[in-house]
Amino acid sequence: MKTLMNDTIILDSLKVVNNVLLNTTETNQTINWWFWVSILQFIFIVYLLLSKKNELKVNRKQKFKSESLKQNIDFDNIINSSFHSISLYDELKVKCHPDRFTTDKGKNAIAESLFQEITKNKTNVKKLLELKEEAKNKLNINF
Amino acid sequence: MFSNTWNAIVDWFRDRSERNKLIRSFNESARDSFVAGIAPTLLKAKISKGESSYRHQFSNWLNTGFRIQAFTGRELSKDELVYIGKVILNDSVLVRRLIVLGWDTLEIHGDKGQYGCRWQLKDYIPLPNFNENTNE
């Protein structure tokens, strides 16, 4: 009688162990959906942050670009300057040199500032012609 | 996301149009000056391959050179080439425009001889750092 009871207990135990083992294996085999959902969420957040950061950069570049495209370019002056600015600059730098006005302090100061402007714009014919007119009026130079 | 992609496509076409417009305006001015006798030499601008080591933030993928060819019928001296280059580079508005339209190299050539000069455009205009986190 006792042996039979023991056998039943053993059989029951084996059954339970078998069930437990089966269930454990089943849990390992199923896909953990929440894990993958969280990974996808993380990737999406990183993408959003990066695109937001990049958007700022793109906006700054666009602003710089649109400001640059608004300005007008004087091609005629560029072409003209390529061939005629050297001679005009050479003429102006000699005639407007401050050392020619050492006796008159007022004219000397004007010549000083004009000479600086002439040197700054030595490759710009349009500006040099304006400075030539200024020199004619303010310093009474005959060109 | 889609609007960004769309804007990028529209910008690409707009840039191409602006580049062609700039080249055309330059060539028209050069031609008119030559015909009127203002310029003794005919200048012609065109797009060239450019120098890859001169790249900057606005550089295009391909053809990043702005080449000016001087039709003099003789070999230009280095001083003459450098002077034409200096006139272009001293015009900050033009340099800025060239940079934002994707050019990074300025090349000056004569129509005879193998000699030419080239400059890195970004050396002639201070480009802001667009990656900085400052509120400009």
| pLDDT single digits (tens) A46-98 | 988 888 877 877 888 888 888 888 989 999 999 999 999 999 999 999 999 99
- The H-assigned helical ranges of chain B are 2-36, 78-90, 92-100
Q: Is residue A12 part of a domain?
A: yes
d(CA A128, CA A132): 6
Helices vs strands, H then E, count in chain A: 5, 0
Q: Closest partner residue to A81 among B28, B87, B131, by Cβ?
A: B87
Whether the CB of A81 is below 8 Å from some CB of chain B: the reply is yes
Residue A123 to residue B90, Cβ atoms within 8 A: yes
Q: Is residue A83 part of a domain?
A: yes
Q: Is residue A68 part of a domain?
A: no
CA distances from A123 to A34, A127, B3, B60 (A): 69, 9, 44, 29
Range of the domain at A118: 73-139
Alpha carbons within 13 angstroms on the beta-carbon side of residue A92 total: 31
Q: Is residue A117 part of a domain?
A: yes
d(CA B59, CA B43): 24
Report ipTM for this prediction.
0.86
Range of the domain at B90: 2-124
Residue A73 to residue B30, Cβ atoms within 8 A: no
pTM: 0.76
Query: In terms of domains, do A26 and A77 share one?
Result: no
The total of structural domains in chain A comes to 2
Residue B57 to residue A61, Cβ atoms within 8 A: yes
- In this prediction, residue B2 has a pLDDT band, given cuts at 50, 70 and 90, of low
Residue A68 to residue B131, Cβ atoms within 8 A: no
Min Cα separation A120/chain B (Å): 10
DSSP secondary structure code for residue B76 in this structure = P
Q: Is residue B57 part of a domain?
A: yes
